[in-house]
Amino acid sequence: MTMRVNRETYESMIAEDLAWLHTCPDSLERQHIECVLRTSAERIYAAPPPPVLVVTDEACEIVWWYRIEHQNPSATAPMVAREWLTAWQRELGPTLGLVEIREPSDDECRNIWREAKANEGDGSKVCAGRAMFNAVRAVLWPKEGL
């Protein structure tokens, strides 16, 4: 039966294997096995590479239309920022491996709104969507380590 163990346990098992291996006569085969064992923990337990994400014009337009379809006409700035965040999470979350993101505070929502308004560009759907994405990234993601 195959069972995954934590890295510390695995490394201690490998250390025992290497100790036993050193009792064997030196050979090219032993050196190869030792090399494979010494690097195996890093290969097995290494973090996967971060996803490559490009925010395309198409993604910006999808988010724009999602936001337009779900907007609340009497929304406050924090509510609008939450709506934008929901739209971006819906579009990019699966690619980034985000299942759920924490609810931003009212201050963060106001900061997202200010940041987006300051960088809206020509006011087109694509520019507005990209500005909101960049605002969310600037305000929330440095704190989240993303």
Angle between helices 77-96 and 125-139 (to 10 degrees): 80
String of DSSP letters for 67-99: HHHT--TT--HHHHHHHHHHHHHHHHHHHHT-S
- % of the chain beyond a pLDDT of 90: 8
Nearest to 55 by CA among 47, 64, 46: 64
Q: Is 123 left (phi over 0), alpha (psi -120 to 50) or beta?
A: left
pTM of the model: 0.34
Asked if 35 and 15 count as a contact pair (C-beta separation under 8 A), the reply is no
- Calpha distance 120→123 (Å, rounded): 6
- For residue 34, give both structure tokens: 């030792």
pLDDT tens track for 93-106: 766 666 555 677 88
Rounded mean pLDDT, 121-146 = 69
Question: Mind giving me the DSSP string for 36-51?
Answer: HHHHHHHHHHPPPPPP
pLDDT of residue 19: 93
pLDDT in tens, 46-73: 866 666 667 788 878 887 887 777 777 7
Residue 28's region, left for phi above 0, alpha for psi from -120 to 50, else beta, is: alpha
How large is the average pLDDT for residues 16-20? 92
